[in-house]
Amino acid sequence: MEPRRPLYASLTLLILVTSSQGGHSKSGPTLKMDQALLTFHNQLTEEMQVFYTSDSCYKCVYQRLVTVKPNNNNASAVISTKFPLTLQVERTRNVTLCSWSQTYGEGGHYSVWIQMSEAASNPSCTNAVDKRPNNVHLPLLVGALSLAVIALLFVVAPYIYRRSCTSKCIRTICCQGPQYSVDDDGAQACEVEHNTAKAKPTRLRSLDTFRGFALTVMVFVNYGGGGYWFFQHAPWNGLTVGDLVMPWFVFIIGTSVVLAFRSMQRRGVSRQQLLRKITWRTVVLLMLGFCFINYSPRDGPYFLGPERNPTESESLVETRPRCGPLLATVADNHPAGDSVALHHFAHACTQLPHVNPRIGYLGAGGIGDNGLYPNCTGGAAGYIDRWMFGDNMFRYPTCKEIYQTTQPFDPEGVLGTINSIAMGFLGMQAGKIIIFYRGANVRILCRFLVWAVILGISAAILSKCTRDGGFIPVNKNLWSLSYVMCTGCFSFLLLGGMYFVTDVKGWWGGQPFIYPGMNSIFVYVGHSLLGFYFPFSWEMRFQESHWEWLFQSLWATALWVLIAYLLYRKKFFLKI
């Protein structure tokens, strides 16, 4: 489960409201990241009310932004630039004068002139840009280019080294006549390289690479993702990069379980020993979870004593289930499949339109859905969690900022666990496919593609390819059925692509993601407990743009990847 950190530094909309008489003040407040200054100039003889709503807030009630007094007065407000805003200027008696939707730029100064139109006798609203906004994507572009250059260097350096080593081996082999003196060390090095080339890895490199990639993205997201909204969790419905990480991990767990269990069965591990191993790992994971719940970096340093153990090899074996090739992997696990299907159906029943909003409501509550269900955040999922655990739950859900909710809500609640089990079951199918069709790489990739297409089409039908208008919207907070199918589609595509590149063709060794992937427990625990101390993070001084935050996020993520690499070189792996 991802550690959560509320982003207090970026409020959604109204931060500061100032009013002045006559001209426009040029100094203005100091703007921070994802903020812009919006000033309303009222040249009419009556008072105006300005209301707003965020376009990312589904059917939200308009909120009051500023009140602009008449006769050449103005009022300013600092607004958020994360999402498009719809603003509405109203006269007295709720008469709408003008309304518009616009995406404002970070650091920009904007003016809205409320005046009589020259062409007609009706008043109008004219928008103007007083100060051009910053290029919010420039830091991201520079960061991406820097990473691309570093990746290119890491690709070119081993290639040069291999060419050099190959030349030495050729000279050693070709110069073995009596007239030449042969260097014993060079011959030994050539022989070692030849033997190393013959050795085949026992682990599935694509799975370690996929795990490491997901973990690297998680660390980057947990450090704030540079402050960009698409690297953070969606406010309610929708899908961002931050929403993909956790289901990827659950998918990987399902695949790893199948491979590890089959490996242990081949080694003759009894069911009793297997049960003890599962129980022990469950207890350790629960204890780690309790540590995260009760610990905060403000409590002082806290360290865990890892054991120095190597990782288990996830060997592949050839087995053949008894049924047809297309659905063989599902039928081989038919008791588990039936159970997951039953749980899936029960969960879906709570996510269909229903008369009782506590049962069928899928919204965030608060000011959403025209304010009809302010205390029904999460519908049945939130109601069951509060009924079982009380109000002592996570009080900073992603919907709190925009939807202005007051109810606590945990995105990893009881009902969400049901669909997370289904996500793990999809990962098990990937493991079964790899085992069943071992050596037939084309069949493995084709079946990965079939699963991805089926899940993708199902998610598109349930969501109607919209954010909020589908039968069951894609929603990470609820772990909705469409969310599981959509992220399952991405999981099969990513694992299949990495399997083709690393295990089939050998074009890529999985670096650098394979290093945190083989030490995922250590990296996750380490960045959760120590991640908000120096040198991983610091108090940022330049808060008017994304530059420093993005640098900090990339720096901290790179440090943990480097630590994982050093531990890999020392053959130090934390396992439970």
User: Residue 324 to residues 23, 34, 332, 436, 450: CA-CA distances in angstroms?
Assistant: 79, 55, 10, 12, 15
Give every CB contact of residue 219 below 8 A, 6+ residues apart in sequence.
516, 523, 527, 531, 556, 557, 560
Q: What is the pLDDT of residue 119?
A: 63
User: What 3-state class would DSSP assign to 243?
Assistant: helix
Q: What is the pLDDT of residue 318?
A: 36
Alpha helices of 506-570 — where are they, by DSSP H? 514-517, 520-530, 547-569
- pTM for this model (two decimals): 0.78
Looking at 233, 347, 527, 546, which residue is catalytic? 233
For residue 502, how far is the Cα from the chain centroid?
24
For residue 420, which of 283, 248, 213 has the smallest C-alpha distance? Answer: 248
The pLDDT tens digits along the chain (576 residues) read: 444 444 333 344 444 444 444 444 455 678 888 899 999 998 888 888 999 999 889 999 999 999 999 888 889 999 999 999 999 998 876 788 889 999 999 989 999 998 877 666 778 888 999 999 989 999 999 999 998 888 888 777 776 777 776 665 555 554 444 443 333 433 333 344 444 444 444 578 899 999 999 999 999 999 989 889 999 999 999 999 999 999 999 999 999 988 888 888 888 888 888 888 888 888 888 887 777 655 444 444 444 333 333 333 333 333 333 333 344 344 444 454 545 555 555 555 555 444 344 456 888 889 999 888 888 888 888 888 888 888 777 888 889 989 999 888 888 888 888 888 999 999 999 999 999 888 889 999 999 999 999 999 999 999 999 998 888 999 999 999 999 999 999 999 999 999 999 989 888 888 889 999 998 888 988 888 887 888 888 888 888 889 999 999 999 999 999 999 999 998 888 877
Cα-trace Rg, the chain: 29
Tokens 């420039």, residue? 138
Q: What is the pLDDT of residue 45?
A: 85
Task: Tell me the domains of the chain and their CATH numbers.
Answer: 17-131 (2.60.40), 205-314+330-569 (no CATH)
Q: What is the pLDDT of residue 346?
A: 53
Q: What is the pLDDT of residue 199?
A: 45
Residues in the chain: 576
Instruction: Take residue 319 and report the two structure tokens written for it.
Output: 């087995």
Our CA angle for 230, 233, 237, nearest 5°, is 95
Q: What is the pLDDT of residue 508?
A: 85
Can you tell me the distance from the alpha carbon of 362 to that of 462, in angstroms, rounded to the nearest whole number? Answer: 14
User: Residue 68 to residues 17, 20, 51, 111, 228: CA-CA distances in angstroms?
Assistant: 11, 9, 11, 13, 32
H or E stretch including 438? none
Helix 245-266 vs helix 481-498: crossing angle, to nearest 10: 60
Q: Is the peptide bond before 408 cis (omega within 30 degrees of 0)?
A: no
194 is catalytic: no
Q: What is the pLDDT of residue 181?
A: 38
